[in-house]
């Protein structure tokens, strides 16, 4: 048994708000939604067998915790607890998020000393960007549940105001997070999740953009050639995957934390799923498992 923490898997998923609404209103069996939720059934079974001790969840805030008063590029949550945000429709009826303050503080110290100038956040609400992925992987939670089944360390990335961080910087941040986790002296299994995307555009006359071929090729490269993919310029995302498709750079943070980017073996694809549409968005989902000793 290892004496230190380790990364065991990375999970990638879109975080469309309408998915949360469908779950909260009990509409998942409707014809429109059932193919989408069927794609996450293997993921929920996988999660039951691979439940980690903590999740580093990379997501973006959608003008809820952060207004234009402060726009941190990388904001790490170091609190013990986060409440779901009222995004204007009222807060989602889901449990509060329990943090992991001790591991978060360790990651903060280690990653900043690896030249990433993180913003640290001790008080914030979390919006659908964080809670919809939890809903997809853990399913509906009992009313009154005190917390989600696993502690979560939120890592909020600015992808709202351009320019967002580059793919290369995101991949490097993932590598730094891996080193931080591996130097934490408790035997914890840690997953890192990258969320957002895939192709979609919510604004202007081009709203409704979907690019299935591009999404499929992007996911192929994320698995097989993450270093090459991290060089893709922002402009390619905006042109081909839509103004909000640029959220995909967040997947590169999770990918950067996998062993093959630290000289280890390539991860195994445990599950892959893609579906169009969920409201305005193409939904992509991947689970990559580390080869563990």
Catalytic residue set: 128, 200
- Does position 31 interact with another protein (CB under 8 A)? The reply is no
The residue (of 242 and 256) whose beta carbon lies closer to another protein is 242
Contact 194, 253 (CB under 8 A): yes
Residue 141 binding another protein, by CB under 8 A: no
Count other Cβ atoms within 10 Å, centred on residue 69: 5
Q: Which is nearer to another protein, 18 or 104 (CB)?
A: 18
Q: Does 216 bind another protein (CB under 8 A)?
A: no
Tokens representing 22 are 């469908």
Q: Which is nearer to another protein, 109 or 280 (CB)?
A: 280
- Rounded to an integer, what distance in angstroms lies between the CA atom of residue 276 and that of residue 212? 8
Least distance between another protein and beta carbon 133 (Å): 17
Q: Which is nearer to another protein, 95 or 242 (CB)?
A: 242
- 270 binds another protein per the rule CB under 8 A: no
Query: Is residue 291 at the binding interface for another protein, with CB under 8 A as the rule?
Result: no
Q: According to the binding rule CB under 8 A, does residue 282 interact with another protein?
A: yes
Euclidean distance between CA atoms 31 and 29, whole angstroms: 6
Applying CB under 8 A, which of residues 26, 29, 144, 203 lies at the interface with another protein? 203
DSSP 56-117: EEEE---SSS--TT---SEEEE--SEEPBP--SS---SSPPEE--HHHHHHHHHHHHHTT--
Is 72 one of the binding residues for another protein (CB under 8 A)? no
Residue 236 host element (H or E): helix 234-241
Given 120, 216, 266, 276, the residue binding another protein (CB under 8 A): 276
**Least separation, in Å, of the C-beta of 243 and another protein?**
5
Provide, rounded to whole angstroms, the least separation between the CB of residue 79 and another protein: 20
- With CB under 8 A as the contact rule, the residue among 27, 50, 51, 63 that binds another protein is 63
Are 156 and 60 in contact by the 8 Å Cβ rule? The answer is: yes
d(CA 270, CA 289): 6
DSSP 126: B
- The H or E element containing residue 157 is strand 152-157
Sites of contact with another protein (CB under 8 A): 17-18, 62-64, 67-69, 86-89, 160-163, 199, 201-212, 214, 234-235, 238-240, 242-244, 276-277, 279-280, 282
């Amino acid at each position: 048994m290892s004496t230190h923490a380790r990364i065991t898997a990375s999970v990638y998923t879109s975080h469309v708000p309408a998915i949360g609404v469908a779950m909260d209103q009990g509409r998942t069996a409707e014809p429109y939604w059932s193919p989408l939720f069927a794609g996450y059934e293997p993921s929920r079974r996988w999660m039951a067998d691979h439940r980690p001790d903590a999740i580093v969840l990379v997501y973006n805030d959608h003008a809820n915790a952060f207004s234009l008063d402060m726009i941190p590029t990388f904001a790490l949550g170091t609190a013990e607890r986060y409440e779901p945000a009222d995004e204007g429709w009222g807060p989602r009826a889901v449990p509060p998020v329990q943090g992991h303050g001790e591991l978060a503080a360790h990651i903060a110290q280690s990653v900043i000393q690896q030249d990433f100038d993180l913003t640290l956040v001790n008080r914030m609400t979390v919006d659908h960007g964080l809670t919809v992925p939890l809903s997809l992987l853990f399913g509906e939670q009992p009313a009154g549940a005190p917390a989600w089944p696993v502690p979560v360390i939120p890592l909020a990335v600015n992808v709202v105001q351009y320019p967002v961080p580059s793919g290369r910087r995101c991949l490097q941040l993932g590598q730094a997070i891996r080193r931080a986790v591996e130097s934490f002296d408790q035997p914890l299994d840690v997953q890192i999740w990258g969320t957002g995307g895939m192709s979609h555009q919510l604004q202007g006359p081009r709203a409704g953009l979907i690019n299935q071929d591009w999404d499929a090729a992007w996911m192929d490269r994320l698995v097989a050639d993450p270093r090459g993919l991290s060089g893709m310029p922002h402009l390619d995302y905006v042109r081909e995957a839509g103004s909000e498709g640029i959220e995909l750079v967040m997947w590169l943070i999770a990918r950067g934390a996998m062993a093959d980017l630290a000289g280890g073996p390539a991860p195994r694809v445990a599950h892959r799923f893609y579906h169009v549409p969920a409201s305005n968005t193409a939904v992509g989902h991947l689970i990559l498992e580390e080869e563990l000793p």
